[in-house]
Amino acid sequence: MNVLIFGPPGSGKSTHSRRIVERYGLVYVSSGDLIRAEIERGSELGREMKAYLERGSLIPDTIVNSLVISRLRRHRQNFILDGYPRTPDQVLALENYLYDHGMSIDVAMEIFISKEESMERISGRRICPNCGAIYHVKYRPPKVPGVCDVCGSRLVQRDDDRPEVVERRYDIYTRNMEPIIKFYKKQGIYVRIDGHGDIEEVWERIRPLLDYLSSREATSRVPPSAP
pLDDT tens digit sequence for 179-203 = 999 999 999 999 999 999 999 999 9
Q: Catalytic residue at 154? A: no
The three-class DSSP label of residue 174 is: helix
The dihedral sign for the CA sequence 191, 196, 199, 203: negative
Q: In this structure, what DSSP letter does residue 190 have? A: E
Residues in the chain: 227
Q: Active site includes 86? A: yes
Report residue 4: phi and psi, to 5°. Answer: -105, 135
Three-state secondary-structure class, residue 221: helix
Fold designation for 3-118+178-221 = Rossmann fold (3.40.50)
Q: Which of 71, 86, 121, 126 is catalytic?
A: 86
* pLDDT tens digit sequence for 111-142: 999 999 999 999 999 999 999 898 999 889 99
Q: Which of 188, 119, 130, 196 is nearest to 160 (CA)?
A: 119
Q: Which residues contact 223 (CB under 8 A, 6 or more apart)?
A: none
Query: Which of the following is catalytic: 71, 121, 125, 126?
Result: 125
Residue 126 designated active-site: no
How big is the CA angle at 176 (ends 34 and 115), to the nearest 5 degrees? 100
Q: How far apart are CA 63 and CA 65, in angstroms?
A: 5
- Report the distance separating Cα 34 and Cα 32, nearest Å: 5
Residues of the chain with pLDDT under 70: 56, 218, 220-227
- pTM of the model as a whole: 0.84
Q: What integer pLDDT is reported at residue 158 of this predicted model?
A: 85
Q: Which of 158, 182, 185, 216 is catalytic?
A: 158
Which of the residues 13, 71, 121, 126 is marked catalytic? 13
Nearest to 11 by CA among 112, 137, 80: 112
pLDDT, position 220: 63
